[in-house]
Chain A
Amino acid sequence: MDSSIRTGTPALLAAAVEKDSLAPDVELFLQSLDLTAAERLAVVESLPAFQYALKDGNGVQTVQAYGWRWG
């Protein structure tokens, strides 16, 4: 996965953060990761809620719910 991150893709994702979660440039970024269908689905299912949580200032609680305390 590391080597599949294409030059310039980070900038595309950064630009997409303020847009709808699955804007075309986010789609492009996900394509660059060479995900399987299951991996892509997991991201697509969780990303919108995470983006809204960040926007509403609830990012900490969301990350906590996914278990950083188990790190």
Chain B
Amino acid sequence: MTPAAVPAGPQHSDDRLKALAAIVGNEVHRQTTASGLPVHLREIAISRAGQSGARTGPGVIAVLPLAVYEAVSGQEPFHAAPAGAAMSLLIAAGDLLDDLQDNDVRPEDVGGATGAAEMMAVLLALSNNALHAGQQEIGLSAARLGRATGLLASLQLRALGGQADDVTLSGLDDFKLEDALKATLRKSGGLGRCAAMLGAAVATDDDALIDTAGRFGENLGVARQLLNDIAGVIPGGPPSTDIALGRKTAPIAFALSVDEAVNPAAGRVRSALSGTPEQRTLNSEDIRRDIQEAGGVSYAWILARVHATRARQAALELCRAHPAKDPSWLIEMA
């Protein structure tokens, strides 16, 4: 494996993100090519992983293992490329599931139900195998491999559970705001926790540092998910299916939980989102304005800042492991 030149410092954060994403992409390509899978499945896996988390730019979660590894070990981040590949492939599997559930992708576009199931199985199998497949390349001890593999498996389940909670909540008119936040914590927080803990577990045997990495990743994942959720409802924001599908994202869940006697906009949101998606005739911009007027955007913003601050505090703790390394990029992520 060839070390890549990774730009340093906050002024290069975007270039740095892309450089780390390229390392992860190369590792996914290398491992998938060597997997022995039929060519068409390899091509699909590489293509899906290349898109993972990248619809609006390089995904942070897939490069998180490398960034955390660098902060904790003081070594070059490419040593954690297999952990990044594991996350990239896991996120690709999650994105595929999400796309099918949100009707962003039709089953016939991915080879029908059989093709979708096969693709999902391939992506998860490659993810689970990524650390083992890269063990020799990065000189990972058997003990650290065992620990990292166990973390990947348990945190995968947590994130998938959060995804299921998310979908279940979408179909419910009667729900608690806390349940919506817990789903975000399990899904997006779970993925961030998994990515950061993998990077730390490859770098060290120190339980406290690995736990701190988990706190960093979880809070970073939640903060960024909340920003995405705001983007999905804010007036003038990018297209999103969150409203049409009745997703109980933080801003929507908050607006639905407000007493309409206190704020009539909340009543309008509740009325617009009642019934099944097929029954709704939505004017997206009107509902976006009502969600904002009901306080949903401000509420999600406050929570996002709280989680970002917690991530930043954890990043500072992680960076104390190697004070000589420039910690600004890791901290800047939050």
Residues of chain A having any CB pair with chain B under 8 Å: 1-3, 5, 10-11, 13-17, 29-30, 33, 35, 38-39, 42-43, 46-47, 50-51, 54, 57, 59-60, 63-64, 66-71
Contacts and interface: CB of A to CB of B under 8 A. Distances in A.
Contacts of A46: 301, 305
A23 B262 CA distance: 16
B246 to A, nearest CB: 18
B259 A11 contact: yes
B309 A39 contact: yes
A25 B220 CA distance: 28
A11 to B, nearest CB: 4
B309 A60 contact: no
B266 interface: yes
Interface class of chain A by DSSP: helix
Nearest to B236: A60
Contacts of B298: 13, 17, 47, 50-51, 54
B151 interface: no
Interface stretch (B28-36, B52-60, B102-110, B112-120): B52-60
Contacts of B26: none
Contacts of A2: 178, 181-182, 185
Given A59-B236, A68-B224, A43 B305 contact: yes
Contact of B258 (A11, A42, A67, A69): A11
Interface stretch (B42-50, B136-144, B162-170, B226-234): B226-234
Interface in B183-224: 185, 224
B181 A42 contact: no
Contacts of A15: 262-263, 295
Given A46-B301, A59-B236, A68-B227, 18 more contacts: A1-B181, A2-B178, A10-B257, A14-B263, A17-B295, A29-B302, A42-B306, A42-B309, A47-B305, A54-B297, A59-B234, A59-B297, A60-B236, A60-B237, A63-B230, A66-B304, A70-B57, A71-B56
Interface in B253-298: 254-255, 257-259, 262-263, 265-266, 292-295, 297-298
Contacts of B302: 29-30, 33, 43, 47
Top 7 closest A-B pairs, CB basis?
Answer: A14-B295, A71-B228, A42-B309, A68-B227, A69-B57, A11-B262, A69-B56
